[in-house]
Amino acid sequence: MAVVLPMTWRTNESVLITCLLVGAFSVPAFCCALVLRKQRLVPLMWASVISLAIALALWLVLVWVNFDRTVEMWIIRSGIIANTIGVWGAHFGLLSLFQLTGRYSKHVRNATYFFASLLALFILAAVIIEPESEIYFRALLLLIIFTVCGTLITPTLTVIELVKSRASHGSVPSKVNIELTCPRCGSHQDIKPGNARCRNCSLRINIELEEPRCTCGYLLYRLQGETCPECGKTIPEIDRWAVQAPDESTQPDIAPVHETP
């Protein structure tokens, strides 16, 4: 690199800063790619990718080329504007990927959308208008705090809802009685799911009921199809609903049996 580029350039520092910039911009670009893979917010994601590319190009030009003060300030302002738009779009798209079902959880995400959008507007205004009011920068700091808190709380709520959905009651009641025969003493009895003991010989018996669910927690009971309606993932064949109703035309006629005293 030192042989190709002019000696007046600070090659080592420029290469290091270039690597840091490319690595930093790859994070929001990867978030946009994840959202595009889900076919969500396609126009917004492409606009964010283009803004990130423009911002990266401006910062790299600023690193490798020397300009006078006026041009340098114009490049810095343009880079901040493009960078803000790109990061805001990537952040918006990333939050949309979280599967939230609770009403309050959705309110938290919507509030995060609002604070993040307002924060982006405040940053753009600070670059263009250059306000000097102390109240303005205090409001900017509050928006940063609210946006960061909402960004951290949203995935946390997603995990909590996922755990609750997996632990929620399905098509089989958790307190259902199961008829079984003790494998040791042969006594017939009714036992509820969970840890229990045989009433006759005190054999420890543990019964677990696990219904097929998607990885997102959606119950697959009586679900017709090969994909989950909640997240769109393909359902493994072993978990698909395959119970077929018997054909009544082929069933033999069985007369009722009456016991005589």
Q: What is the 3-state secondary structure (H, E, C) of the chain?
A: CCCCCCCCCCHHHHHHHHHHHHHHHHHHHHHHHHHHHCCCCHHHHHHHHHHHHHHHHHHHHHHHCCCCHHHHHHHHHHHHHHHHHHHHHHHHHHHHCCCCCCHHHHHHHHHHHHHHHHHHHHHHHHHHCCCCCHHHHHHHHHHHHHHHHHHHHHHHHHHHHHHHHHHCCCCCCCCCCEEEECCCCCCEEEECCEEEECCCCCCEEEECCCCCECCCCCECCCCCCCECCCCCCECCHHHCCCCCCCCHHHCCCCCCCCCCC
Amino acid (one-letter) located at 135? I
pLDDT digits (tens, 9 = 90+) for 171-184: 566 667 888 888 88
Structural domain boundaries of the chain?
11-167, 172-210, 211-242
Of all residues in the chain, the percent with pLDDT exceeding 70 is: 82
Give just the sign of the alpha carbon dihedral 58, 62, 63, 64: positive
Backbone dihedral angles phi then psi of residue 36, each to the nearest 5 degrees: -65, -35
pLDDT tens across the length of the chain (261 residues):
444 445 444 567 888 899 999 999 999 999 999 999 988 899 999 999 999 999 999 999 998 888 888 999 999 999 999 999 999 999 999 999 998 877 888 899 999 999 999 999 999 999 988 888 888 889 999 999 999 999 999 999 988 877 766 555 555 666 678 888 888 898 888 888 778 888 889 888 888 777 777 776 677 777 777 787 767 778 887 777 765 544 545 444 444 444 444
For 256, the token pair is 């009722």
Nearest Cα neighbor of 47 from 95, 82, 22 is: 82
pLDDT digits (tens, 9 = 90+) for 62-119: 988 888 889 999 999 999 999 999 999 999 999 999 988 778 888 999 999 999 999 9
